[in-house]
Amino acid sequence: MGGTQSLALPLGKGPHHVGCTDVMVGQTRQGLFLRLFYPCLPRAGAEWPLWIPRYEYCGGLADFAHRSRHWCAPLLSITIGPCTPRSAQSWHPGASWWRHWSTEAGREEWIPYQRVPQGQKEFYFRNKQVHQRAEECVRALRLFKDISSGKSVPNILHQDFDLSVLKDSVDLTKVAVMGHSFGGVTAVLALVKEPSFRCAVALDAWMFPLENVLYPEVPKPVLFINTEKFQTPESIAKMKRLSSRNSQTKIITILGSVHQSQTDFTFLTGKLNTRIFGARGTLDPYKGLDITSRAALAFLQRHLNLEEEFDRWDNLLEGIGDSVVPEAPFCRSNL
């Protein structure tokens, strides 16, 4: 594993080894670019992928953190660039940077993190983005439907992994959508756009970009797992609008956690990077990850009819347990 012990990601606790491959289908906004994780058998000579595979991502992280690329990007490259992810149960940040190949020239082009243009209202800018992201979730599901049915899906990236091996291996009757921050509200919106998504898990969702007219249209249950230091009364009120319409929608808060506690950053950042990203709360990050994982698994078993024993953590869905409370501690008396 790259990096020092203090910068190590936790090992996975699931029953399977996990492989991953990058997939790109199409070269326009209607295409897809994603990393696919899948259960696998160990193979001699297999390599761990880098958590940050390209230096350009360090520049995007610096932009997202409102830091100078001149010093922050090299710092990130040195401190967490060599790290390798070894857990399928760790969660990734919801910020907006990715790479793109131009259709016309067939060349690689990097799209920088996009801030709200001067003079434009943030809601309309972010609302357009969240709809694009939710539509990408829908297209990803359709991609898996095509793969499962045996349809040939060409991967532009020409990875060694042949997507056709997944034929008849994906249970499309038990599909959930999950995301962190901007990805959390994306997951909520994806329920509106695609009936095949049976439920959503929203990690510290940033509810701001979702228009009010859509709240009555969210048809499926959502589990909101919030951190203590990020949410506002306005955001919690939006979540409660959904829980008031669906008794299976749950809202819990993990005490002692911050917004980045539900991402890999909480394990990858030393003292200096922690000051830059505010990546650690007072709760032990391993304990926070366990609470998040167990609550999500209990919720998924309940709504996907999984034949597991994750229901032993059902109490977490009611906000019952060490370091967990229902809703949000600063909102219960205000709303």
CATH number at residue 328: 3.40.50.1820
Residues 6+ apart with CB under 8 A from 4: none
**pLDDT exceeds 70 at position 250:** yes
Q: Would residue 204 show up in a list of annotated catalytic residues for this protein?
A: yes
291 part of a folded domain: yes
Closest CA to 62 of 281, 273, 279: 273
Q: Would residue 303 show up in a list of annotated catalytic residues for this protein?
A: no
**pLDDT exceeds 70 at position 9:** yes
**Pair of tokens at residue 168:** 């008849």
Q: Which of 60-64, 158-162, 206-210, 259-263 has the highest mean pLDDT?
A: 206-210
Of 171-180, 208-217, 258-267, 324-333, the poorest mean pLDDT is in 324-333
Give per-residue pLDDT as tens, 147-197: 999 998 888 887 778 899 899 889 999 999 999 999 999 999 999 999 999
| Amino acid symbol at 139 | R
Give strand pairing partners of 250: 223
241 part of a folded domain: yes
> Residue 116 and residue 185: Cα distance in Å, rounded?
18
53 pLDDT band (50/70/90 cuts)? confident
**Structural domain of 195:** 173-335
Catalytic residue among 259, 261, 264, 303: 259
**pLDDT exceeds 80 at position 28:** no
Give per-residue pLDDT as tens, 134-151: 999 999 999 999 999 999
Q: Give the burial class of 57: count Cβ atoms within 10 A of its Cβ; 0-12 exposed, 13-18 middle, 19 or more buried.
A: buried
Catalytic residue among 181, 235, 257, 293: 181
* Chain CA centroid to CA 127, Å: 18
115 pLDDT band (50/70/90 cuts)? confident
332 part of a folded domain: yes
Average pLDDT, the chain: 84
CA angle 145, 185, 236 (to 5 degrees): 145
**pLDDT exceeds 90 at position 220:** yes
98 part of a folded domain: no
- pLDDT in the model for residue 43: 82
265 part of a folded domain: yes
326 part of a folded domain: yes
Q: Would residue 259 show up in a list of annotated catalytic residues for this protein?
A: yes
**Pair of tokens at residue 71:** 């010093």
Domain count, the chain: 1
Residues 6+ apart with CB under 8 A from 224: 184, 202, 205, 239, 249, 250, 251, 252
294 part of a folded domain: yes
278 part of a folded domain: yes
> Residue 13 and residue 97: Cα distance in Å, rounded?
29
Catalytic residue among 63, 204, 235, 257: 204
> Residue 301 and residue 91: Cα distance in Å, rounded?
19
Q: Which of 61-65, 248-252, 265-269 has the highest mean pLDDT?
A: 248-252
270 pLDDT band (50/70/90 cuts)? low
- pLDDT in the model for residue 253: 96
> In terms of C-beta distances under 8 Å and separation of at least 24 residues, what long-range contacts does 113-117 make, across chains too?
113/60, 113/63, 113/64
Q: Please state the rounded mean pLDDT for residues 319-328.
A: 91
Residues 6+ apart with CB under 8 A from 41: 17
- pLDDT in the model for residue 68: 82
| Residue in the structure block whose two tokens are 């249209």 | 217
278 pLDDT band (50/70/90 cuts)? low
